[in-house]
């Protein structure tokens, strides 16, 4: 499914209306039956379905105990034979891990091994970039991660293309303004923001180049962009393929990583440092700094667990059980395993990545050419958006015409496109505007029903019409 289709699906669902169908959406990537990639993904999906249905036939407690009890025990025992020496920042990192895990009641991420590793590392990296206001955060999802990373700070605008998970983010009150945005069509005037963040979301977008161009357009001269992405080493650091090969299942060996790429995003490719450097320069950025994070052993370790999880389960299948009192022992032992096993790797991550010049992810910062805008570092607690002219800088994502905020929708002055506002969040994607238009047309088409009483009065006042009407009624009654 493309982003447009997902958006429209969600929008229709929120109005309890049937889906509008793929015809409304933009171009569909489709499944190319002849492509090796698609065949590979299809094969792995079948393998997954099979393993899930076999598991489903067993007692369901087996799955949660295996993933959160047996598998961690195995991994932890393996690691105890290759311990890392302690690092300086151990206590600080352990605290950061504990803090991330403490939100297990509200989000799924504390039960996801690779998320824990990525986000603790990303917190350190993103917080090293001063938050100069106004700032924009692209792709916040359910808000749990951004709330964790930016704790104590308030980015001016928080955004995500999808409205469903995004509704949760508002509970954290982490942003001065919230809206739905497609990172390839940002609905703000050029030179609006001093800082743009994108925490591990660019890998979900079809065209990374288009995102870089848009981030550059909305940044003020001298403004900073900071984002993270999977590196070109990611596929080879996913161990499931190697495991399949080692077991003699050669046909499956490249399927797991392709399946993940298909699941994670529309682009199906990872960029190298070189490619990023060229693309950043072409988009008009300078002073690009690119560093790896999540060292190979940590990545393999987390990904082995995650891929087995993926092969057996839906990500959230065990959440209710793990949060319940019945599985408290399992939850606590899993969190103990996470804290004791991950902390040494997380504390030494920069050093470990540097030694081999690779890692599972990139952290990238760059500056838009031009004079630095006056730096106004944000102090915790002061309303970031107070001085930001939100409505004055909003534009239509499709034509970049001036957008005017109304009660129910945001209307483009130039092309007339109307973007719906749901729960005070403007949905600034053409896909939502199209779905909204369709729904309004649909309602308008049924408006004739309101004239029914008047028609009935006309009929009743004319005796001959009444007779015709009764004749027909009797005919149909028989």
Nearer to Zn ion, 39 or 185 (CB): 185
Nearer to Zn ion, 205 or 403 (CB): 403
CB of 24 to Zn ion, least distance (A): 18
Number of residues that bind Zn ion (CB under 5 A): 8
- At its nearest, how many Å lie between Zn ion and the CB of residue 422? 19
Sheet with strand 361-368: strands edge to edge? 177-179, 157-159, 135-138, 193-198, 219-230, 361-368, 285-293
User: Closer to Zn ion at the Cβ: 235 or 401?
Assistant: 401
Closest alpha carbon to 342 in 150, 84, 109:
84
Q: Is 179 in the site for Zn ion (CB under 5 A)?
A: no
The smaller minimum CB distance to Zn ion, of residues 177 and 411, is found at: 411
Binding mask 384-413 for Zn ion (x = CB under 5 A): ------------x-xx-x----------x-
Would you state the structure tokens that stand for residue 344, as one six-digit string? 């040494």
CA dihedral 61, 67, 69, 72 (to 10 degrees): 180
Q: How far is the CB of 417 from Zn ion (least distance, A)?
A: 5
Give 254 or 418: the residue with its C-beta nearer to Zn ion.
418
Whole-number minimum distance, CB 220 to Zn ion, in Å? 23
Residues 6+ apart with CB under 8 A from 309: 67, 112, 315
What is the smallest separation between the CB atom of 180 and Zn ion, expressed in angstroms?
16
* CB 101, min distance to Zn ion, A: 45
How many helices (H) and strands (E) the chain has is answered by: 20, 11
Indicate the Cα dihedral angle 362, 283, 263, 228, nearest 10°.
Answer: 20
Q: Which is nearer to Zn ion, 72 or 397 (CB)?
A: 397
Binds Zn ion (CB under 5 A): choice among 24, 87, 90, 415: 415
DSSP run (H or E) holding 228: strand 219-230
Nearest of 195, 117, 182 to residue 361 by alpha carbon = 117
Lookup: tokens for 431: 């896909």
Contact region for Zn ion (CB under 5 A) — 91-99, 128-136, 414-422, 426-434? 414-422
> Residue 225: enclosing H or E segment and its boundaries?
strand 219-230
Applying CB under 5 A, the residues found at the interface with Zn ion are: 396, 398-399, 401, 412, 414-415, 417
């Amino acid at each position: 499914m493309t982003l447009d289709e997902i958006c429209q699906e969600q929008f229709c669902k929120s109005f309890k209306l049937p889906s509008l169908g793929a015809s409304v959406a933009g171009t569909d990537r489709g499944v190319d039956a002849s492509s090796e990639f698609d065949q590979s993904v299809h094969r792995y999906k079948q393998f997954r379905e099979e393993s899930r249905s076999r598991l489903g036939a067993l007692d369901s407690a087996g799955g949660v105990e295996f993933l959160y009890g047996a598998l961690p025990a195995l991994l932890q025992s393996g690691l105890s034979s290759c311990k890392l020496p302690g690092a300086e920042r151990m206590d600080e990192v352990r605290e950061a891990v504990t803090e991330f895990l403490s939100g297990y009641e509200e989000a799924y991420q504390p039960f996801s091994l690779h998320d824990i590793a990525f986000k603790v590392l990303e917190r350190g990296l993103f917080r090293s970039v001063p938050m100069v206001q106004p700032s924009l955060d692209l792709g916040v999802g359910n808000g749990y991660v951004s709330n964790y990373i930016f704790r104590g700070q308030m980015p001016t605008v928080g955004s995500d293309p999808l409205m469903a998970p995004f509704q949760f983010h508002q509970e954290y009150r982490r942003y001065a303004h919230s809206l739905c945005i497609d990172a390839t069509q940002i609905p703000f005037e050029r030179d609006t923001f001093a800082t743009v963040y994108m925490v591990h979301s660019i890998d979900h977008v079809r065209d990374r180049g288009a995102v870089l161009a848009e981030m550059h357009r909305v940044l003020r001269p001298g403004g900073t962009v900071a984002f993270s992405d999977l590196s070109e080493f990611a596929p080879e650091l996913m161990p499931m393929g190697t495991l399949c090969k080692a077991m003699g299942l050669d046909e499956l060996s490249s399927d797991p990583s392709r399946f993940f790429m298909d699941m994670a995003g529309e682009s199906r490719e990872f960029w190298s440092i070189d490619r990023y450097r060229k693309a950043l320069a072409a988009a008009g950025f300078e002073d690009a700094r690119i560093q790896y994070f999540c060292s190979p052993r940590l990545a393999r370790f987390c990904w082995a667990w995650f891929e087995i999880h993926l092969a057996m389960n839906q990500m959230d299948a065990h959440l209710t059980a793990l949060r319940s009192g019945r599985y408290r022992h399992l939850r606590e032992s899993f969190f103990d395993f996470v804290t004791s096993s991950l902390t040494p790797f997380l504390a030494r991550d920069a050093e470990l990545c540097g030694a081999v010049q690779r890692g599972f992810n990139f952290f990238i910062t760059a500056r838009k050419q031009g004079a630095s805008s006056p730096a106004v570092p944000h102090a915790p607690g002061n309303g970031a958006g107070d001085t930001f002219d939100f409505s004055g800088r909003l534009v239509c994502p499709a034509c970049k015409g001036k957008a005017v905020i109304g009660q129910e929708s945001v209307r483009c002055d130039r092309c007339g496109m109307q973007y719906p506002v749901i729960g005070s969040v403007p949905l600034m994607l053409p896909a939502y505007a199209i779905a909204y238009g369709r729904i309004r047309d649909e309602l308008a088409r049924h408006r004739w029903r309101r004239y029914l009483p008047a028609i009935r009065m006309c009929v009743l006042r004319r005796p001959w019409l009444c007779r015709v009407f009764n004749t027909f009624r009797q005919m149909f009654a028989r």
